[in-house]
Amino acid sequence: MDYTRMGEFKPTNFESDISGYSLETQNMFVKHYYGMIGAMVYRYYEYAIVVDANIGGYNVGRDFAKNIMKKSIYLNLGVRAEREFSEYFRIFIRPSYEVKSYKLTIPETTQTLQHRLNGLYVNVGFTYRLPELRRCFLKTCHAQINHAHGNREYRSRRHPIYKKQNPHYGENYPELIKYKGKNKNKLNPY
């Protein structure tokens, strides 16, 4: 659902003879319903480029006389640049171009008018994938990787959603504790 403000309609022909037209209700919510298709086309470590398309329909709301409108499909083509923080969390920026229009049948004539409602968008956001495993229930458990208690597997309690983890040993502390901070100078850091 998009909050949209429509400006003045201006004629594309006979501009000096025909005046423009402003809507009574300029602010409205435009609803989109669509399917999405896309593919990753490039990947460099934690960065990725995804090309995708939203294809469906749109609804401009009750203030439009929909019985004389013939709507086109709604098409939104975008390129999403992603940065992956962990297997669950990534941020993205997605510039996209949107194509939609409608034909207006002028009552009591056979003439139609084409209105284009195209738009350029830049979306910024994040995606979060729900983990498939339950979080470990044991408050004192320090395991950094997926592990089992009894015969059930759990996900680590120590895994911040934004931090990448090696599935074999975890990566919360990539530097050994004995090399960290003032421990460097200690003979026996443990």
159 binds Zn ion (CB under 5 A): no
Amino acid symbol at 122 = V
**12: burial class by Cβ within 10 Å (0-12, 13-18, 19+)?**
exposed
Distance from C-alpha of 85 to C-alpha of 42, rounded to nearest angstrom: 17
Which residue of the chain is nearest Zn ion when measured via CB? 141
Q: What are phi and psi of 18, to 5 degrees?
A: -115, 130
Pick between residue 99 and residue 143 the one whose CB is nearest to Zn ion: 143
Work out the angle at residue 173's Cα, subtended by the Cα atoms of residues 171 and 179, and round it to the nearest 5 degrees.
140
> Among residue numbers 90 through 109, which ones bind Zn ion (CB under 5 A)?
none
Q: Cβ(9)–Cβ(22) under 8 Å?
A: yes
Pick between residue 100 and residue 159 the one whose CB is nearest to Zn ion: 159
> Among residue numbers 120 through 149, which ones bind Zn ion (CB under 5 A)?
136, 138, 141, 143
Question: Cβ 154 to Zn ion, closest distance in Å?
Answer: 5
Pick between residue 54 and residue 144 the one whose CB is nearest to Zn ion: 144
Pick between residue 19 and residue 140 the one whose CB is nearest to Zn ion: 140
Q: Which residues bind to Zn ion, rule: CB under 5 A?
A: 136, 138, 141, 143
